[in-house]
């Protein structure tokens, strides 16, 4: 019996050592194909994948949260009711020592709940009672709402906390600064301070370009919620993700050797590739989050010997502020004079990511053309992309891409038929693009 006990104890200790030694974020590097055809353009796409480990059960990063809720006149009825429920869900999900502030806005902003500890059950019930008294009012001072919410967070800002604004709106900003550029500037400013702004657009009348841009500029999340019934679930999901923070200040460096050109990060034109090195930064990574980047390179001359076409380094700080050990990998390829051999070496998982990124760029371009009153050109962009997908190597034509082609054709048909996208369709396309860009949905 004693021997069995020690065997079990040894197993438990060994498991703890394994868990303790597992990095918060793992690096994985894969070229799109192992064999590069010398007779072609000698292009190779290198996928750089970051995988955050699953969060430990019971581990919760402390929060400094500001809820900024639209209470304009258009929020009357089910919308304001579900917004109140969602805010109460947030109260229930926070720990006693978490900090919460609630800002509401219409023409003016009001700090309904100043920043304070959530506290125990009695205090939570008082918070909920205050939330239940929210009633709809006038216009939409969105910029001011976010600004005031961030101001409250600064009072108790701490690096060891998740400092997050959650903004919800159902309308177009019409009081104060209201251009997308204004909100992008605000988002970047807050991101520089360590504050992220998650945006939730409710219904079909808000400005999705503005809400997406604000979330992206502050490196946070964006949600399109067509049905108010889903609001409480969205708040719960967002808070669950935010609490699982694992890494901060993630930096990826991609370097190519002489004789190789670093052309672009596919689907990410905002990341500029100059010279032989590009650096990509991510402010935060959360539990089980996966991020992929696709570096498109070309080899200048024909080769016979294998080549390390790219070297990748990755480092970060843990949620506790400790510097993690640097990780490094290389992408190695060989060369062939036979095109079929090159095609046979294609990795479907990487080829699919490339197609998804290019589909997204096509949809972004089509939306822009449709907005400019050029529906024929918009539909043609989508159909050309669907044709390119269909002509891809057999190994890359996975079921998920067949579904994506159906969406491309359907969107093209809608633009052709009506000359534009409906409000809901435009928001759905924008939301899908956001999820694809930041890998917020499983494929």
pLDDT band at 174 (very low <50, low <70, confident <90, very high): confident
* Helices 231-242 and 78-93: angle between axes, nearest 10 degrees: 30
Rounded mean pLDDT, 161-186: 91
Give the Cα separation of 198 and 216 in Å (integer): 9
Q: Which residues contact 166 (CB under 8 A, 6 or more apart)?
A: 65, 66, 67, 68, 90, 197, 198, 200, 235, 238
Give the Cα separation of 197 and 187 in Å (integer): 7
Q: Which residues contact 399 (CB under 8 A, 6 or more apart)?
A: none
Percent of all residues in the chain with a pLDDT value above 70, rounded to a whole number? 94
Q: Are 246 and 217 in contact (CB under 8 A)?
A: no
- Tell me the two tokens of residue 359: 């589909």
Counted residue by residue, the chain has a size of: 443
Decide which of 223 and 441 is more confident: 223
At 435 the three-state DSSP class reads helix
Q: Are 30 and 335 in contact (CB under 8 A)?
A: no
- Tell me the two tokens of residue 56: 């430990």
Q: Please write down the HEC assignment for all residues of 238-255.
A: HHHHHCCEEEEEEEEEEE
What are the Cα distances from residue 62, in Å, to 93, 162, 190, 253, 336? Answer: 12, 6, 19, 30, 54
What are the Cα distances from residue 41, in Å, to 172, 254, 356, 410? Answer: 47, 21, 22, 33
pLDDT, tens only, 321-366: 999 999 999 999 999 999 999 999 999 999 989 999 999 999 999 9
The pLDDT value recorded for residue 90 is: 94
CA trace torsion 112, 115, 120, 121 (10° rounding): 10
pTM above 0.95, yes or no: no
Phi, psi (5° rounding) for residue 227?
-110, 120
pLDDT, tens only, 119-144: 999 999 999 999 999 999 888 899 99
Question: Is residue 13's pLDDT more than 70?
Answer: no
Count CB-CB contacts under 10 A for residue 62.
Answer: 16
Q: Are 50 and 329 in contact (CB under 8 A)?
A: no
Count CB-CB contacts under 10 A for residue 288.
Answer: 13
The pLDDT value recorded for residue 55 is: 86
- Pick from 287, 248, 322, 242: which is nearest to 62 by CA? 242
Question: Is residue 6's pLDDT more than 50?
Answer: no
pLDDT band at 14 (very low <50, low <70, confident <90, very high): very low
Rounded mean pLDDT, 233-253: 94
> How would you class 150 by CB atoms within 10 Å of its CB: exposed for 0-12, middle for 13-18, buried for 19 or more?
buried
Give the Cα separation of 201 and 212 in Å (integer): 9
Question: Is residue 17's pLDDT more than 50?
Answer: no
Question: Is residue 150's pLDDT more than 80?
Answer: yes
- Pick from 233, 54, 257, 60: which is nearest to 162 by CA? 60
Give the Cα separation of 334 and 6 in Å (integer): 51
CATH 3.40.920.10 describes domain 63-243 = no
The pLDDT value recorded for residue 19 is: 45
Give the Cα separation of 325 and 322 in Å (integer): 10
Give the Cα separation of 95 and 237 in Å (integer): 16
Q: Are 139 and 106 in contact (CB under 8 A)?
A: yes
Give me the sign of the Cα torsion angle 122, 128, 130, 132: negative
Q: Are 408 and 381 in contact (CB under 8 A)?
A: no
Q: Where are the alpha helices (DSSP H) in 307-394?
A: 339-344, 348-371, 375-390
Give the Cα separation of 221 and 207 in Å (integer): 16
Measured CA angle at 155 (ends 153, 157), to 5 deg:
60
The pLDDT value recorded for residue 21 is: 67
pLDDT, tens only, 80-133: 999 999 999 999 999 999 999 999 999 999 999 999 999 999 999 999 999 999
Decide which of 2.30.42.10, 1.10.3720.10, 2.60.40.3670, 2.130.10.10 is the CATH code for 23-57+246-344.
Answer: 2.60.40.3670
The pLDDT value recorded for residue 9 is: 43
Quickly list DSSP for 207-250. -HHHHHHHHHHTT--EEEESSGGGHHHHHHHHHHHHTTEEEEEE
Q: Are 287 and 55 in contact (CB under 8 A)?
A: yes
Give me the sign of the Cα torsion angle 290, 187, 156, 149: negative
Question: Is residue 441's pLDDT more than 80?
Answer: no
The pLDDT value recorded for residue 31 is: 98
Q: Are 276 and 297 in contact (CB under 8 A)?
A: no
The pLDDT value recorded for residue 1 is: 45
Report domain extents, the chain: 23-57+246-344, 63-243, 348-437
């Amino acid at each position: 019996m004693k021997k069995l006990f020690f065997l079990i104890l040894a197993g438990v200790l060994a498991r703890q050592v394994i868990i303790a030694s597992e990095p918060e974020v793992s690096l994985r590097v894969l070229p799109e194909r192992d064999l590069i055809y010398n007779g072609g353009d000698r292009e190779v796409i290198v996928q750089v994948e970051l995988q955050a480990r699953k969060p430990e059960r019971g581990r919760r990063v402390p929060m400094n949260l500001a809820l900024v809720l639209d209470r304009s006149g258009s929020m009357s009825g089910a919308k304001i009711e579900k917004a109140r429920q969602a805010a109460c869900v947030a109260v229930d999900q926070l720990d006693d020592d978490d900090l919460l502030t609630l800002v509401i806005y219409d023409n003016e902003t009001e700090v309904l709940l100043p920043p304070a500890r959530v506290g125990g059950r009695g205090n939570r019930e008082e918070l909920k009672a205050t939330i239940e008294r929210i009633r709809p009012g006038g216009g939409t001072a969105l910029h001011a709402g976010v600004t005031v919410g961030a101001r409250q967070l600064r009072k108790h800002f701490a690096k060891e906390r998740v400092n997050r604004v959650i903004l919800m709106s159902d309308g177009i900003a019409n009081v104060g600064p209201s251009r997308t550029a204004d909100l992008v500037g605000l988002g970047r400013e807050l991101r520089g301070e360590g504050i992220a702004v998650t945006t939730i657009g409710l219904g079909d009348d808000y400005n999705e370009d503005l809400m997406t841009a604000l979330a992206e500029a502050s490196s946070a999340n964006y949600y399109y919620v067509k049905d108010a019934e889903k609001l409480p679930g969205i708040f719960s999901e967002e808070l669950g993700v935010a609490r699982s923070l694992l890494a901060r200040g993630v930096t990826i460096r991609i370097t190519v050797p002489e004789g190789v050109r670093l052309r672009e990060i596919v689907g990410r034109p905002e990341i500029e590739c100059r010279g032989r090195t590009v650096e990509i930064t991510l402010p935060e990574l959360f539990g089980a989050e996966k991020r992929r980047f696709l570096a498109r390179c070309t080899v200048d001359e024909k080769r016979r010997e294998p080549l390390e076409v790219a070297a990748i380094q990755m480092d970060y700080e843990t949620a506790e502020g400790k510097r993690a050990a640097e990780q490094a990998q290389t992408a190695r390829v060989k060369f062939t004079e036979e095109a079929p051999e090159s095609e046979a070496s294609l990795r479907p998982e990487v080829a699919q990511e490339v197609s998804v990124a290019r589909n997204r760029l096509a949809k972004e371009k089509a939306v822009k053309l449709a907005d400019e009153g050029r529906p024929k050109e918009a539909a043609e962009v989508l159909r050309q992309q669907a044709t390119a997908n269909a002509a891809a190597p057999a190994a890359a034509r996975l079921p998920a891409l067949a579904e994506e082609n159906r969406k491309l054709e359907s969107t093209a048909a809608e633009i052709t038929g009506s000359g534009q996208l409906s409000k809901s369709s435009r928001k759905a396309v924008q939301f899908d693009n956001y999820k694809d860009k930041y890998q917020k949905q499983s494929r």
